[in-house]
């Protein structure tokens, strides 16, 4: 943990709060393994008191992931801290991250507490957390709209009570780079004994400034950056991990060549894996990981890049592990080659899940000549998702065309038993969805349907994303297959399974409050 800048990844906690990005235990574990390979210092795995699902995710990640520090979030009440402590208890290195708002706006309208009460609460919560672990982070929620003098008081009390990391969140994405840097400098200068703590920053992207603000804070002395893969997170998202990392790496002249400890070659796989798991694709022009991030379209640019890449390229696709179009496996590749490739991609699957993925790979290799890394990542994410589900797509047949009414016959496994039906629709996807809705008895509403090609080429696998909503709960399902109709059926079933999973998850009345 000697990296000059610690990378605190909150994809599994703040990121998971993005609409449609909630993940089940298996999905969180798959991502946590990838975050470990990426080399993050801290994984914030969830908010244990928020739900049984979050508690189990933090506990399971704590058991399995041994490299990074595993962190559980807690408000200040004693029960929150106890629950977080219980969840991180199996971790090799566990952290409790406790927070309370410090802005007058939050004190008056949300907490209905006085400043004195907030100060008492901070001292009590941090001391309690220190009773469970030596690694305690304190966050002053809405710090950037708080009175700076009160912030000094709040952080001083947290430090005295034993906090080792002091986090200054820009909770509502309100600050600007110059102002934020000034605040960090002021806090470091004014808090007695500030050299004993790591100052951390946590920026939201409401004004599109999350990365700029985080980097400005690093320039002012912050030594932990909280961020998420693909910048997912509450509302407009959090600071994007890949953008922060590549800015620091690409501009050592500006950031003094500070070490972040990140294996940048794992960035692209991390981004792809997250998109596969959540079904949320990044926009094509997204910095670093978007489809067009390294595509030179204008003739004058192409000419320059062909003559010397340095003319228009400030970093290479290879540096983030984007060696796309790499032929990896074919139909003659066997189990060993497949497992080796999974290991190289850092996709560790075992048992039933491995068998499922291998079968999918063989089927795909029969249908498609060339299989790329992206195909394998999509297959594995798809196979991992299927294992704890109530509904499974077994068979799907469609008749459709310009002279016949579209019809779909669908067989699902429902609670272990096969059930079939036939439905017609306006188009083949409509027919498939009607049949599935009938078999699952879902009351959800279809909000969005999107198709995306996993790789280039006419034989590319189709990745379908389906957004559905029921009683205000919105989820995204994902399905991958060389036949887009099958991918559509899988995506819809996956979304319905996610709703099912939420129904079974016990949520607090006010689960997040942040």
The nearer residue to ligand KIV, 99 or 294, going by C-beta atoms, is 99
- From the list 167-175, 211-219, 361-369, 427-435, the region that binds ligand KIV by CB under 6 A is 167-175
Residue (of 341, 329, 338, 343) closest to 356 by Cα position = 338
| C-alpha span between 240 and 282 (Å, rounded) | 12
Both tokens of 213, joined, read 């603000």
The nearer residue to Zn ion, 218 or 496, going by C-beta atoms, is 218
Q: Which does 99 bind (CB under 5 to 8 A by kind): ligand KIV, Zn ion, none?
A: ligand KIV
Q: Residue 237: left if φ>0, alpha if ψ -120 to 50, beta else—which one? A: left
Q: Is residue 34 a contact partner of residue 8, using CB atoms and an 8 Å limit? A: no
Q: Which does 155 bind (CB under 5 to 8 A by kind): Zn ion, ligand KIV, none?
A: none
- From the list 53-61, 163-171, 352-360, 409-417, the region that binds ligand KIV by CB under 6 A is 163-171
The nearer residue to ligand KIV, 14 or 482, going by C-beta atoms, is 14
Q: How many other C-beta atoms lie within 10 A of the C-beta of residue 508? A: 13
Q: Is 141 in the site for ligand KIV (CB under 6 A)?
A: yes
| C-alpha span between 46 and 55 (Å, rounded) | 7
The nearer residue to Zn ion, 162 or 233, going by C-beta atoms, is 233
The answer for residues whose C-beta is within 8 angstroms of residue 507's C-beta and 6 or more apart is 50, 51
Q: Which does 27 bind (CB under 5 to 8 A by kind): ligand KIV, Zn ion, none?
A: none
Q: Is 14 in the site for ligand KIV (CB under 6 A)?
A: yes
Both tokens of 280, joined, read 């949320």
Site size for ligand KIV (CB under 6 A): 10
| C-alpha span between 261 and 368 (Å, rounded) | 38
Q: Where are the alpha helices (DSSP H) in 293-396?
A: 299-307, 335-344, 351-367, 373-385
- From the list 9-17, 39-47, 136-144, 425-433, the region that binds Zn ion by CB under 5 A is 9-17
The nearer residue to Zn ion, 171 or 467, going by C-beta atoms, is 171
| C-alpha span between 238 and 286 (Å, rounded) | 14
The nearer residue to ligand KIV, 225 or 432, going by C-beta atoms, is 225
Helix or strand run (H / E) with residue 468:
strand 462-470
Nearest approach in angstroms of CB 326 to ligand KIV is: 37
Q: Which does 141 bind (CB under 5 to 8 A by kind): Zn ion, ligand KIV, none?
A: ligand KIV
User: Which residue of 8, 55, 99, 338 would you call a contact of ligand KIV, by CB under 6 A?
Assistant: 99
Q: Is 171 in the site for ligand KIV (CB under 6 A)?
A: yes
Give the DSSP letter string of 166-223.
Answer: EEEEETTS---HHHHHHHHHHHHHHSTTGGGSEEEEEEB-TTS-HHHHHHHHHHTT--
Nearest approach in angstroms of CB 111 to ligand KIV is: 14
Q: Using alpha carbons only, how large is the chain's radius of gyration in Å?
A: 24
- From the list 19-27, 166-174, 242-250, 422-430, the region that binds ligand KIV by CB under 6 A is 166-174
Within residues 183-222, the interface with ligand KIV by CB under 6 A covers 202, 204
The nearer residue to ligand KIV, 14 or 82, going by C-beta atoms, is 14
Q: Is 169 in the site for ligand KIV (CB under 6 A)?
A: yes
DSSP state of 478: E
User: Which residue of 139, 205, 213, 373 would you call a contact of ligand KIV, by CB under 6 A?
Assistant: 139
User: Which residue of 21, 454, 476, 514 would you call a contact of ligand KIV, by CB under 6 A?
Assistant: 514
Both tokens of 10, joined, read 């909150």
The nearer residue to Zn ion, 226 or 389, going by C-beta atoms, is 226
- From the list 103-111, 165-173, 310-318, 498-506, the region that binds ligand KIV by CB under 6 A is 165-173
Q: Is residue 456 a contact partner of residue 473, using CB atoms and an 8 Å limit? A: no
Nearest approach in angstroms of CB 108 to ligand KIV is: 17
The nearer residue to ligand KIV, 162 or 169, going by C-beta atoms, is 169
**Three-class SS state of 437:** helix
The nearer residue to ligand KIV, 174 or 255, going by C-beta atoms, is 174
- From the list 7-15, 73-81, 267-275, 436-444, the region that binds Zn ion by CB under 5 A is 7-15
| C-alpha span between 243 and 238 (Å, rounded) | 11
| C-alpha span between 323 and 269 (Å, rounded) | 10
- From the list 8-16, 127-135, 179-187, 476-484, the region that binds Zn ion by CB under 5 A is 8-16
Q: Is 14 in the site for Zn ion (CB under 5 A)?
A: yes
Nearest approach in angstroms of CB 73 to ligand KIV is: 6
Long-range Cβ contact pairs of 325-329 (< 8 A, separation 24 or more)? 325/372, 325/455, 325/456, 326/372, 326/373, 327/370, 327/371, 327/372, 328/371, 328/372, 328/373, 328/376, 329/361, 329/365, 329/371, 329/376
The nearer residue to ligand KIV, 228 or 440, going by C-beta atoms, is 228
Nearest approach in angstroms of CB 169 to Zn ion is: 6
Q: Is residue 337 a contact partner of residue 329, using CB atoms and an 8 Å limit? A: yes
The site for ligand KIV (CB under 6 A) is made up of 14, 99, 139, 141, 167, 169, 171, 202, 204, 514
**Which positions touch Zn ion (CB under 5 A)?**
14
């Amino acid at each position: 943990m000697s990296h000059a800048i610690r990378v605190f990844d909150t994809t599994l906690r703040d990121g998971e709060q993005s609409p449609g990005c909630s993940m089940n235990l298996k999905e969180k574990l798959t991502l946590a393994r990838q975050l470990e390979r990426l080399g993050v210092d801290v994984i914030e795995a969830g908010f244990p008191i928020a739900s049984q699902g979050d508690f189990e995710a933090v506990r399971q990640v704590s058991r399995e992931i041994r490299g990074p520090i595993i962190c559980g979030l807690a408000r200040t009440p004693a029960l929150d801290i106890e629950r977080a402590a219980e969840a991180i208890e199996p971790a090799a290195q566990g952290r409790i991250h406790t927070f309370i708002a410090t802005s007058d706006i939050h004190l008056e309208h949300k907490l209905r507490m006085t400043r004195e009460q907030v100060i008492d609460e901070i001292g009590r919560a941090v001391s309690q957390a220190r009773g469970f672990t030596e690694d305690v982070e304190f966050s002053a929620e809405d710090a950037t709209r708080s009175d700076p003098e009160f912030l000094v008081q709040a952080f001083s009390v947290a430090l005295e009570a034993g906090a080792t990391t002091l986090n200054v969140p820009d909770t509502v994405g309100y600050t600007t780079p110059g102002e934020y840097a000034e605040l960090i400098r002021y806090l470091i200068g004014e808090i007695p004994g500030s050299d004993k703590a790591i100052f951390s920053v946590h920026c939201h992207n409401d004004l599109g400034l999350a990365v700029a603000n985080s980097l400005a804070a690093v320039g002012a002395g912050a030594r932990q950056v909280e961020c998420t893969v693909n910048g997912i997170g509450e509302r407009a998202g959090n600071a994007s991990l890949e953008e922060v990392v590549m800015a620091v790496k690409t501009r050592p002249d500006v950031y003094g060549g500070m070490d972040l400890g990140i294996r940048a070659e794992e960035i692209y796989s991390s981004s792809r894996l997250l998109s596969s798991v959540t079904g949320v694709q990044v926009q094509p022009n997204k910095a670093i990981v978007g489809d067009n991030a390294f595509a030179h379209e204008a003739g004058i640019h192409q000419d320059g890049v062909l003559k010397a890449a340095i003319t228009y390229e400030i970093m290479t696709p290879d540096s983030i592990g984007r060696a796309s179009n790499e032929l990896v496996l074919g139909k003659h590749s066997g189990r060993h080659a497949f497992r080796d490739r999974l290991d190289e991609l850092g996709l560790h699957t075992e048992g039933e899940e491995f068998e499922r993925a291998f079968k999918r790979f063989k089927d795909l290799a029969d249908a498609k000549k060339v299989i790329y890394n992206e195909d394998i990542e999509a297959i594995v994410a798809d196979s991992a998702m299927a294992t704890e589900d109530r509904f499974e797509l077994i068979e799907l047949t469609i008749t459709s065309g310009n002279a016949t009414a579209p019809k779909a016959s669908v067989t699902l496994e429902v609670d272990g038993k096969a059930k079939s039906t036939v439905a017609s629709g306006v188009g083949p996807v409509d027919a498939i969805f009607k049949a599935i809705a009938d078999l699952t008895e879902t009351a959800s509403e279809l909000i969005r349907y999107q198709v995306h090609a996993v790789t280039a080429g006419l034989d590319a696998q189709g990745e379908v994303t389906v957004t559905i909503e029921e009683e205000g709960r919105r989820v995204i399902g994902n399905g991958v297959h060389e036949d887009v109709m099958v991918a559509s059926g899988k995506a819809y079933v996956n979304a319905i399974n996610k709703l099912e999973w939420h129904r079974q998850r016990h949520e607090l009345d006010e689960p997040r409050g942040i």
